[in-house]
Structure 1
């Protein structure tokens, strides 16, 4: 009896090759799409077969980075890309570490030799994937040579800035120390000169003619002016040197203290001080009292003849700052002197008209700057002046 015919066996011999062919075609199409996608990348991409240590695929970015054609690159081994990769065994150990950490991506820096012999610095990212049961290393390289150079230049510039800042800090400290020593140690000899000159005048005035008495008066006057300048320089140096912990400072209270200190001068000038509510800042109460006292004191000193001094103090918000304005109706300031008046010992008027050493506004400027702010003036000659003080607001508490 003949065996029954296997009806399914004959068609099967035709189906299996067709299925394998279709799968190969699908895989080939997938790889072609993958290759097209790789070529769209600006980075250099290499697919390396770990078992054979050969390239499976490279993109146009890889060819452009190394300066070779795809055909030439596919004939190379992966360790030929960089002199720092060693031989194939050394590179294989690197790939094994990547495989052991899959699917984590490893990142490192790599020196890459280009076709013209130049070495560029690349950021390399390696990741291991499995394909058809085999481990494939996907290596992506990005040229960061320009970025490294820019970073190096930035670090050099930062180092130079730090060095110059340290040098400037040392210089400022030396100048502050010199100012302190000068103002403190020279005050006593000046007092001695003035005291003994006055003593000579009292004891021997009957023996001296008018010229001699005038000469002595000049000596005493000069010594007293120098003593006043030294005292103000001492205040300035202490303002610069004094460390202060920033505390909440109600500016209304600082203004109150300044007005108490100026009470006699305000009454003598029959002056009025108009004020609006002021904010609280973070800073030094003593320093801000100095600012108000010096600015209002200047308004009283540099007043227009036959005009009752009037000072208006107010504040407004502007972004992250408080703007405090002190407006007076005094003699005013010409625009060319707006910067000069904030320098130490700068007086715009002769001593016989207005007293002072020219240090008050310099002290104001230093105090305001130490609070992270700035001070300026708006004025016209004969129409008063408005001093504008910018101070940072108290930071809002975090969430």
Structure 2
């Protein structure tokens, strides 16, 4: 008697590992014995995915019936034929209808095995990917909706900016005429007008001036992002000095102090950075405390990816509940009689910052001053 023994321990271990991996991934196996009249075998996991009873004997025709959609069925028939013809493997994600009529998404992987140049069998795996696929489809649908809304918002913003730009230009001339004629009326008939009439003219002139300022601010707002200047080396010290000179009369009147030193030169766009600092410094001077002279401190800190600007004052402060609201267009926390202005300044700052891909926020409490922060990217 002659015997040959071969150690197949490693092979069996690998088979067990493969079986365990398939179980964890919820992969089912299948096989079609081409040489045995296309006899079909499904593993238990595959039967569970297809919702088939254990006593049902699967056939090739039955397997194709799980693809009632003509497009999906044609795809399956095509990859099977190609595998039989030249051994091309496949990996497809398709919709099926189970034996119980439920719709599922499955991933089918298959390959052919050949004997003596002839396809002997087809085998592969089957995986239920319904949850993942539905999530992907929902995400795709959500992205499409977001893209559509973003496009509509962009179009709306462009139309609004165009309207603001045109309206601002067209409205300025009539307002100038109203102001001019009211001033002429006041000068020519000053002695013939009683105090009430003079007061009415004053109100009208003042209202026209405020309206013109709103139009100018709105025009400035609409220009943000429309005209792009070249990147330049912007000296922040020089900008703050220029702004301080602009408000010298106001600073002297309030006995205010603007504190800054050793501010850096950064690579950015000079005009919008100037507008940002001008609006924030102007706000600090406007909303000053009556208890002590205004003090405005400007500093800049270099960070890894951006520059962090700080404009701090000792003014009247802002209640935390209004921190988000102040950056909205035409939002005012005080009446025109208390503080002048159009309600556009901080919204202009926010728009500039958004255009420059930075961030802006405020830290403040009522009666305790404001600290505005904004960042500008280095690149």
CA positional deviation for 1:60: 2.2
Cα distance, 1:236 vs. partner? 1.5
Q: TM-score, normalised by structure 1?
A: 0.76
Match of 2:83 in 1: 98
Q: How many residues are aligned here?
A: 367
1:210 maps to which residue? 195
Does residue 169 in structure 1 map to residue 151 in structure 2? no
1:324-352 Cα shifts (integer Å, max 9, x gaps) = 21111223333444334333334444545
Q: What is the TM-score with the length of structure 2 in the denominator?
A: 0.80
Deviation at 1:97, TM superposition (A): 2.5
Q: Give structure 2 stretches of 5+ with no counterpart.
A: none
Q: Which residue of 2 aligns with 1:4?
A: none
In the alignment, which residue of structure 1 is the partner of 2:315?
Answer: 330
Q: Confirm or deny that 1:314 pairs with 2:299.
A: yes
Match of 1:68 among 52, 77, 90: 52
Partner residue in 1 for 2:219: 234
1:54 corresponds in structure 2 to 38
Structural mapping, 1:54-133, within 5 Å: 54-55=38-39, 58-68=42-52, 72-73=56-57, 76-83=58-65, 84=67, 94-95=79-80, 97-98=82-83, 102=87, 105-130=89-114
For residues 33 and 324 of structure 1, what CA distance do their matches in structure 2 show? 62
State how far apart, in whole Å, the 1-side matches of 2:97 and 2:324 are.
Answer: 58
Q: 1:143 aligns with which of 128, 132, 154?
A: 128
Q: CA RMSD in A?
A: 3.8
1:315 positional shift: 3.0
Deviation at 1:64, TM superposition (A): 1.8
Classify 1:91/1:286 alpha carbon distance in 2 versus 1 (closer, same or farther; 3 Å). closer
Q: Please list, as runs of the form range in 1=range in 2, the aligned pairs for 1:237-276 lying within 5 A after superposition.
A: 237-239=222-224, 242-244=226-228, 247=231, 250=234, 252=236, 254-267=239-252, 269-276=254-261
Kept in 2, the 8 Å contact 1:35–1:59? The answer is no
Q: Equivalents in 1 of 2:339, 2:18: separation in Å?
A: 82
Paired residue secondary structure (1:44):
strand
- Mapped to 1, the partners of 2:315 and 2:227 lie a distance apart of 35
SS at match of 2:363: strand
2:330 aligned with 1:345, yes or no? yes
Higher Cα radius of gyration? 1
- Give distance in 2, aligned partners of 1:36 and 1:220: 88
Q: Which SS does the other structure have where 2:312 is aligned?
A: strand
Q: Is the 8 A contact 1:232 1:359 kept in 2?
A: yes
* Comparing 32-41 and 159-168, the one that deviates more: 32-41
